[in-house]
A and B are shown apart, each in its own frame.
Chain A
């Protein structure tokens, strides 16, 4: 109760990159979101945690256009936005990496990075015959991966299915960060990964932040959350229970708020 707003109070002079105000989403008689607000500020990693059924996924889906909230408002860079489809959110600069990764296993790394927005060749080959600029896309893909420090992935012609789980995740994250995106949303990026691969992904998250791209990270994994997050939004029973920081609260505190043992 005490920390719910004060934690964010110091930063409230800045305009949030992404802001949700009192979102409500119901499914029949089940209330998924019960007036949830969320602010994401420039250059920060905001973790969203909560127990199963607390409304994490629903919240994220409302932010990324997969669901249309029944009530409430969304602001991107201070401007009100309405997303009817995931493509709308994407066009506005909100890139999401879904839990199931959403990569095409048989296509190579470069093709996956550019899937759905292929670069065409110049001239008649590109405009009339819609031939893609394979060379150019591969070059750009390499540059993008290098800038994110993903050194194990320099061969962009490898089919994604030949990669390890962590590398696939890296491809998905690199794609999300590739196209001038304003916000990157990562849904349980380490859930399916081993210790070593999780660490690589967490490094990647930090690097995104260092490049100035704010990140929303949904995770069950407290150590991971506390390692990378600047602030932590705790979801409970369809509401925001608190927003805390790793400095102000311990993992035990966070879990207590999450489960309702503490009011925060």
Chain B
């Protein structure tokens, strides 16, 4: 910036009074701040990272709506929300972890383990449904605590930690369940309650979708309104700066992994209702799908930037693409292809946005 200035630097703006900032210096800075329209767009996207996924979602809905009449049918829209509920819930946990510049490859596997514990203790051991759900929560918290301890105490990279615990949780699930699926019909009603539907203006919603939305509201408020939320961003942004500001980085990280554990237990409950079963083989794709939703939602893998609302949009974009492409009659493989393209585009956009004023 200093190359633009040819005149000798004037004395610093001595404006102890809070008058209007109109010195030549301020004007020069204003001018230098706003160079091209493109960088202005970038600045806006930088400040509100959920804008780009919102635009993508609107365009996708319009295009798929034009391609096929059935797409905008209330029943179809309801189906999309149901398809999104589980991964959308897991993606909240994933968002928290990614905001701290971490990643959780094990979140789906831990969710399946939690769902098996809920179903089996209830059906095979005859434990009351509420207690079974609490046990599922304990499993989720334990999984989160394991990841958190390995990341904060052993200082291992979250990628490696959760790659390891992914295998561990998958193995534990199969060992515990013996590979057997528990059917929803055998379970107490409370466990499959998340799959029951209610009607709002002609569109069917499931309890699971409602719970997911409530979770989004709660976490969005916590992230934006509480000190803890700010610390999550600060830790992901620059852990050293956060530490120097007096934040206990490992305590924040630990709390994030524990929160992720609690959220994945909720996802387990929603999953049981959605599939009307608890299957040890379900959800292998959920680990990566939750990351996909977060990334497409504009949250940066480098940490410190993003919102849960972006993640919700990301999850909906994936749901809309899968549903829309299948209604358009394309091979299922093209859905997977499209999701891959979306991820790469989303990360490229994020890289471009992050170049602001370096």
Does A27 touch B at the CB level, under 8 Å? no
Closest to A91 in B: B246
What's the Cα separation between A154 and B22 when bound, in Å?
12
- The verdict on A200 contacting B13 (CB below 8 Å), with A102-B241, A102-B245, A104-B304 known, is yes
Known A-B contacts A106-B304, A132-B227, A194-B2; the reply to A152 vs B245 at CB < 8 A is: no
Contact A116-B21, Cβ < 8 Å, known A152-B29, A195-B9: no
Contact of B245 (CB < 8 Å), options: A116, A134, A196, A200: A116
- What is the bound-complex CA distance between A228 and B244, given in angstroms? 26
Complex contact A105–B237 (CB within 8 A): yes
Alpha-carbon gap, A207 to B29, bound state (A): 22
Shortest Cβ gap from A9 to chain B (Å): 34
Residue of B228, B233, B234, B243 most packed against chain A (CB within 10 A): B234
A203 touches B12 (CB 8 A): yes
Cβ–Cβ < 8 Å partners of A202 in chain B: 12
Residue contact B304 to A132, C-beta cutoff 8 Å: no
User: Which residues of B23-50 have CB atoms within 8 Å of chain A's CB atoms?
Assistant: 23, 25-26, 29, 32-33, 43, 46-47
Cβ of A107 and Cβ of B237 under 8 Å apart?
Answer: yes
Pick the contact of A132: B29, B226, B237, B238 (CB < 8 A): B226
How far apart are B46's CB and chain A's nearest CB, in angstroms?
A: 7
For residue B251, which residues in chain A have a CB less than 8 angstroms away from its CB? none
We find that the number of chain B residues with CB closer than 8 angstroms to chain A is 45
Say yes or no: B356 contacts A161, CB within 8 Å. Answer: yes
Nearest-Cβ distance from residue A200 to partner chain B, whole angstroms: 4
In the bound complex, residues from chain A placing their C-beta under 8 Å from that of B305 are 106
Contact of A199 among B12, B43, B240, B247 (CB under 8 A): B12
Q: Which of A107-155 contact B (CB under 8 A)?
A: 107, 111, 115-118, 120, 129-132, 134, 146, 149, 151-152, 154
B226/A161 in contact, CB under 8 A: no
Contact partners of A90 in chain B: CB under 8 A: 246
Residues of B within 8 A of A131 (CB): 225-226
Residues of A contacting B: mostly? mixed
The answer, yes or no, to whether B150 is at the interface (CB within 8 Å) is no
A106 touches B237 (CB 8 A): yes
A133-192 interface with B by 8 A CB criterion: 134, 146, 149, 151-152, 154, 159, 161-164
User: Residues of A contacting B356 with CB < 8 Å?
Assistant: 161-162
- A104-B304, A200-B12 known; A116 vs B247 contact (CB < 8 Å): yes
A101 is an interface residue with CB less than 8 A from chain B: yes
Residue contact A196 to B240, C-beta cutoff 8 Å: no
A67 to chain B, nearest CB (A): 14
Does chain B have a CB within 8 A of A226?
A: no
Known: A120-B227, A162-B46. A195 touches B26 (CB 8 A): no
Instruction: Tell whether B14 is near chain A: CB-to-CB under 8 Å.
Output: yes
Could you tell me if B230 and A195 are in contact, using CB atoms closer than 8 angstroms?
A: no
Assembly CA distance A117 to B242 (angstroms): 11
Q: Which residues of B contact A111 (CB under 8 A)?
A: 230
How many angstroms between the C-alpha atoms of A16 and B304 in the bound complex?
A: 41
Contact of B227 among A104, A130, A163 (CB under 8 A): A130
How far is B245's CA from A134's CA once the two chains are assembled, in angstroms?
A: 18
A98: interface (CB < 8 Å): yes
Q: Does A241 contact B (CB under 8 A)?
A: no
CA distance A96 to B15 in the complex (A): 25
Of all chain A residues, which has the CB nearest B305?
A106
> A132–B233 Cα gap in the complex (Å)?
15
Give min CB distance, B36 to chain A, whole Å. Answer: 15
- Which B residues lie within 8 Å of A134 (CB)? 225
B234 touches A199 (CB 8 A): no
Query: Hey, what's the 0/1 contact readout for B37-79 against A, CB within 8 Å counting as 1?
Result: 0000001001100000000000000000000000000000000
Asked whether A196 and B226 contact (CB < 8 A) given A103-B241, A106-B304, A154-B21, the answer is no
State whether the Cβ of B200 lies closer than 8 Å to any Cβ in chain A. Answer: no
List 15 extra interface pairs beyond A104-B242, A106-B304, A199-B12, CB under 8 A: A90-B246, A102-B240, A104-B233, A106-B305, A115-B247, A118-B230, A132-B226, A132-B227, A149-B13, A152-B26, A162-B46, A162-B357, A163-B357, A164-B33, A202-B12
| A-B residue pairs, 8 tightest by C-beta | A194-B2, A203-B12, A116-B246, A116-B245, A118-B227, A102-B241, A115-B245, A102-B244
